[in-house]
Amino acid sequence: MKETGSISVHTENIFPIIKRWLYSDKDIFLRELISNAADAISKLRLIGYSGEFQTSGEEYEIRVDLDKDARTLTVSDNGIGMTAEEVKKYINQVAFSSAEEFLQKYQGGDVKQQIIGHFGLGFYSAFMVARRVELDTLSYKSGSEAVLWSCDGTTAFELTSSNRAERGTSVKLFIDDESAEFLDEAKIRDLIRNYCDFLPVPILFNGEGANRQKPLWTQSPGSLKDEDYKEFYNYLYPLGEEPLFWIHLNTDYPFNLQGILYFPRLRADLDWTKGQTRLFCNQVFVSNNVEEIIPQFLAPLQGAVDSPDIPLNVSRSFLQNDRTVRRIADYITRKVGDRLKELYKEDYERYVQCWKDINMFIKYGVMNSDKFYEQVKDILIFEIAGEDRFTTLSDYIERNKERTAGKLYYTSDTGAQAPYIDLLKSQDIEVLVLDAYIDSHFVSFLERQNSDVRFARVDSDLDESVLHKDKAAEIVDPHTNKTRSEQLIELFQQKLGQARLKVRAEALKSEATPAVLLLPESLRRIKEMSALVNQKPMEFLDDHTLVVNTSNPLIQNLQRLEDTGGDEKLVSLICQHVYDLALLSQKSFDAAAMGQFIQRSNDVLTRLATRAV
């Protein structure tokens, strides 16, 4: 038998187009051919189950053979094979029309940008790297004759009978000169590993096993142990630390999807713009970049998602608007929420341990998805400063409401804000630690969601409960009717030479600190936001208030020194010094300010030492 014909009924020059359009993504030809081989084997397995066909006991396998001297690469399978009629139908018509349809879809666009997977191009992608392709095949059907189809990259093909004796198909590519890279053994081995590592059929490359198989996600969760999940994670991410926990996804309605998502330990250098999860389609790797399917806030999750229902050969904008894709994204988000709730309920200690790593994306997630917020709002936890304990918002409010009138105090820096924290703690008021860069957004978000929630950073105002109100009202000067507090305010404004500086004098219930600075909450948040948006360090707020603590011995002595008309220079140095110390806990000094501060410290000490002698 010998038959010749012309493939093209529509486009005369499809092969040059294939080469040109997909030049940058040539690699995928191997994935397409191996997927076809795997399909041919699954089809035969299915037929085997139905009893219509029985193998002679040989293992199913795919072979990839590289012959450098002959400059050929051959992909063979012992699957279903094709009869001459099937070759005509599937290779000449079906494969051709799918390749043509594919190209028509993408002409005029930036192919690489638009497509996340090229499934659908299929068999004809072989012509991206081959000047000639031969397909040698024998169908499983008894009495079939083997046929050899060949085509040299023009639109003409040749079909002859072949002396092939084994069932299955071999596709031999005569690699063209521009594609010599595919004659490199290491390159082919990498491609097989990259795309086909988890295909559940052995792939032998030049006789050696080249894929792992065992896609863990297709197994039933009940049959798997923690060790299996950890071992699989380690295989996927050999440099990663042990994952915190994981979710096994498995659904077949309203779409088919299986996968395993791992919650990794968050690394400081993590790139939130890059998805870490690998997308598969029937165990064949498609892409690392699946933002549309894995919502961006879950980008740090790792693992594998496999779904034949994700439309792959489509543009990103299509994916974003596709109903199934949206449902898949919702499904994944819901499963993540469920898993977190389960951990919170069943292993609270572990949840707390993991919080350090997972809080960032949970916070990011609740701010990005109302549904996710609704799901996890009751398991958002907050560390209590100075205690080895976490709390939910409602528990905090409940415990502290008598003292704070519903306000939630928080610190963004437990070191620098220690005096404020100690002051509140001395009155049994708990302080929450919110020190991640995302927290100023998060705090505002929570306030918008809950009208009864009001956050105040420890340095934004002084709670009534930390003040001795009556002491400050004491009248000392019968001539001017001024209280001690009013006198102190005037003294500081005058000595600091800043008549417009806001100064308050208060009798704090702790005598430890001479003065603290207060930064108004709302103004500070606005500055923080704009610093974040402009990616600049936050400017220090001019609109701050200096609170002088009249309970503090230094302040009391200072006032006595002033009352008795003592060393005026020393009074002014101390006022400046007290202000500087309060400022220092809020910002770092530049070189000039630091120089002055050190100079003044020396002056104060010298004067005090002189007086003491």
Under the rule (CB under 6 A), what is the footprint of ligand ATP? 32, 36-37, 40, 77, 79-80, 82, 90-91, 94-95, 98, 119-120, 122-123, 169
The sign of the CA dihedral 116, 122, 124, 126 is: positive
- State which residue, 147 or 408, has the beta carbon closest to ligand ATP: 147
Helix (H) or strand (E) holding 278: strand 276-281
Sign of CA dihedral 505, 506, 507, 511: negative
Q: Residue 512 and residue 552: Cα distance in Å, rounded?
A: 6
Of 90 and 445, nearer to ligand ATP (C-beta) is 90
Nearest distance from C-beta of residue 83 to ligand ATP, angstroms: 10
Looking at beta carbons, which residue is closest to ligand ATP? 122
SS3 call for 255: coil
Dig out the tokens for 494 from the structure: 């005058």
CB of 456 to ligand ATP, least distance (A): 59
State the burial class of residue 501 (Cβ atoms within 10 Å of its Cβ: 0-12, 13-18, 19+). Answer: middle
Q: Which is nearer to ligand ATP, 91 or 183 (CB)?
A: 91
- Name which of 119 and 195 has its Cβ closer to ligand ATP: 119
* Listed residue (434, 429, 443, 312) closest to 367, CA to CA: 443
CB of 206 to ligand ATP, least distance (A): 19
Q: What angle do CA 521, 417, 423 make, to 5 degrees?
A: 90
Nearer to ligand ATP, 77 or 580 (CB): 77
Nearer to ligand ATP, 36 or 404 (CB): 36
CB of 156 to ligand ATP, least distance (A): 18
- Say whether 36 counts as a known binding-site residue: yes
- What's the CA gap between 434 and 442, in Å, rounded? 9
481 annotated as a binding-site residue:
no
> For residues 191 and 202, what is the distance between their CA atoms, to the nearest angstrom?
15
Strand 382-384 relative to strand 302-306: parallel, antiparallel, unpaired?
unpaired
Is 58 annotated to bind a ligand? Reply is no
**Which one, 89 or 468, has the nearer CB to ligand ATP?**
89
Q: What radius of gyration, in Å, describes the C-alpha atoms of the chain?
A: 36
Instruction: For the CB of residue 74, give the shortest distance to ligand ATP in the complex, in Å.
Output: 11
Least CB distance to ligand ATP at residue 395 (A):
54
Which stretch of DSSP H or E encloses residue 436? none
227's enclosing H/E stretch is: helix 226-236
Backbone phi and psi for residue 266, each to the nearest 5 degrees, phi listed first = -75, 130
77 is in an annotated binding site: yes
**154 annotated ligand-binding residue:** no
Closest approach, Cβ 454 to ligand ATP, in A, equals: 57
CB-neighbour burial class of residue 114 (10 A; exposed 0-12, middle 13-18, buried 19+)? middle
Binding site members for ATP:
32, 36, 77, 82, 169, 316
Name the binding residues.
32, 36, 77, 82, 169, 316
